[in-house]
Amino acid sequence: MPFEAAEQIVAELANNAALHGHVPGRSFRLALKIGEAATLRIEVTDARADRRPPEAAQPPPLYAESGRGLLLVAALSDRWGTEPGSPPCKTVWAEIDAPVPT
């Protein structure tokens, strides 16, 4: 499993939750799950369902100093997206498939 990719995805999703999903007095939840065919699913749930990321990662303006996190998540994962949670929460997730042995 590409551990560096998983580490970077966890960092980006956790950072986004802390930056864009923070509600005073509430934390975000991080979950790592191994699914069928050894797929790693990374989930970060926060309390700001009203602040969902775009459906497709968008590049920031050329000289912007931030705004590339979802581009990294999209590039490093096999799939990613968002799901509504129990109000007022949302979950942003990414999946990495295990490499196929050759």
Kindly report the pTM of this predicted structure: 0.88
- pLDDT tens digits for range 4-59: 999 999 999 999 999 988 888 888 999 999 988 889 999 999 999 998 888 888 88
Residues 6+ apart with CB under 8 A from 7: none
| 37: amino acid identity, one letter | A
Residues 6+ apart with CB under 8 A from 44: 10, 13, 14, 16, 17, 28, 29, 30, 31, 91, 92, 93
> Tokens standing for 4?
């560096």
Give the chain's domains with CATH numbers: 3-96 (3.30.565.10)
